[in-house]
Amino acid sequence: MIKHIVKLMWNQKKRNALIIAELMVVFLVLFFAVYFLSDNLSRLLIPINVDDENVATVGFYTNDTNRERVAKLYPALKAHLKNLSYIEGVSYSGNSVPFDESYNSSTFSANGIDLVFFTRFVDPDFAPILKMPLLKGRWPEAEEAENWPRPVVITEDAGKILFGEKDVLGLKIESGRDAGSKKEYVVTGVLPRYKQSDYGNAEPGLFTVGNPKALNSASRIIIKVKRGRMAEFFSHIETEIYKVVDKDSWFLFWVNTLADMRATANASKHTEFYTRTLISAIVILNILLGFIGVLWYNINLRLKETGLRMAVGASRRAISTQLIKESLVLGFFGIVPAIILILQVYLLRVFPFETNVFFFSLAVSLLVLPSLLVIAAWYPGRLASRISPAVALHSE
């Protein structure tokens, strides 16, 4: 049967070559549509392990160049805010506020492997306020903040890259290339995969805990507000801060809740995700309708052949089955070169594909396109098989 179908296709090679080229392009478009949707969805499925309920943030900076005075003001400000009746907890954070796009990165190494970490500086109250769960180990104590090797908490994906399946607690990683700049860090805790926002990538992360008494560069405050007292917080926080620091040299540039920051960060991403979903649905629908039109046109050109086959006893089911098999053979010759091209792009790292998402998208595309071909061939084949042989032959 397949040999007969290939022979029929060869007899119409010019027309079928165009269909094969179209199928190749369509498979590429379908694959990338599925990939980008799957990539966004896979990011959303990774939980962001922070509790943003009743948590506010304050962004500030100072132009005071007296580092000793600034260093004294940090613990004084924190102590003052913690004593307010509507506040449960206060934490300084350099660049670790969730849903804020600010971050630092640095290269660390272990076992001969170099890995770029997203580094985050926090104080000891950061994790309790955001209820960040550790998979194992502990957060460093404030008294350990100046020790060397410096105690750090890393994410589980970073641990697996550097140490495989070993227990990473107590193991050391290094930063710096030469002896003069090289520093050692010891792992005291492991976090689940961590990302800065719902649509963000879960990058390898490293958290260092600073001693509140030695802070002089933090620019964010995370504040846990008592339930039902957020309005009171917003109406008084600026006044309370300026009771401790000088208004002429300390400046607030935002006061917000984590929930609002999350909504703002997600707003544009939601729109982008829904737009991609809609475009992908339209693409798939157009593919289906386009193939139905192309195959129906081809079938109309072969009415004589159809009539002759039915006149010599071919059943309606046989006619419809043949047309479906022909479309799948065409699909095979269109999909194979497209897969070869996609694999070349992946293996040569021309585009930064996420491996798991790549192969998932490839598998979905391999299921979707043949399914669309079956549907597209079945409907016009069903209509053609219902035409009387006499009518089909007469039309020729």
CA distance 96 to 206: 11
pLDDT of residue 69: 81
Q: Is residue 165 located within the same domain as residue 228?
A: yes
CA distance 326 to 305: 14
Residue 230 counted as domain residue: yes
pLDDT of residue 362: 93
| 266 three-state secondary structure | helix
Angle between helices 13-45 and 355-385 (to 10 degrees): 140
Residue 259 counted as domain residue: no
Residue 371 counted as domain residue: yes
Among the three residues 178, 213, 248, which one is the final residue of a domain in this structure?
248
CB distance 48 to 197 below 8 Å: yes
Cβ contacts of residue 205 below 8 Å, gap of 6+? 117, 118, 119, 120, 154, 155, 158, 191, 194
Is the full-model pTM beyond 0.85? no
CA distance 206 to 131: 17
Per-10-residue mean pLDDT of the chain, 396 residues long, equals 56 70 86 86 84 89 80 86 91 81 81 86 87 90 80 91 88 78 88 85 85 60 91 90 87 87 82 82 79 71 62 65 79 90 89 88 91 78 61 53
CB distance 191 to 122 below 8 Å: no
Q: Is residue 26 located within the same domain as residue 136?
A: no
Q: Is residue 208 located within the same domain as residue 166?
A: yes
Cβ contacts of residue 298 below 8 Å, gap of 6+? 12, 15, 19
Residue 351, domain extent: 2-45+265-395
Q: Is residue 145 located within the same domain as residue 79?
A: yes
CA distance 199 to 45: 9
pLDDT of residue 376: 77
pLDDT of residue 394: 56
Give 285-291's long-range contacts (Cβ < 8 A, gap of 24+).
287/26, 287/30, 287/369, 287/372, 288/372, 288/375, 288/376, 291/327, 291/372, 291/373, 291/376, 291/377
What values do phi and psi take at 374, rounded to 5? -60, -45
Residue 50 counted as domain residue: no
Residue 255 counted as domain residue: no
Residue 340 counted as domain residue: yes
Q: Is residue 233 located within the same domain as residue 270?
A: no
Cβ contacts of residue 21 below 8 Å, gap of 6+? 334
What values do phi and psi take at 151, rounded to 5? -70, 135
pLDDT of residue 309: 63
pLDDT of residue 80: 92
Q: Is residue 149 located within the same domain as residue 77?
A: yes
Residue 313 counted as domain residue: yes
pLDDT of residue 302: 63
CB distance 98 to 266 below 8 Å: no
Residue 56 counted as domain residue: no
Chain-centroid distance of CA 268 in Å reads: 15
Measured from the Cβ of residue 232, the count of other Cβ atoms closer than 10 Å reads 15
Among the three residues 248, 275, 294, which one is the final residue of a domain in this structure?
248
Beta strand ranges found along the chain (DSSP E): 55-62, 87-93, 104-110, 113-122, 136-137, 150-155, 172-175, 183-191, 205-209, 220-225, 250-257
Nearest of 158, 129, 145 to residue 53 by alpha carbon:
129
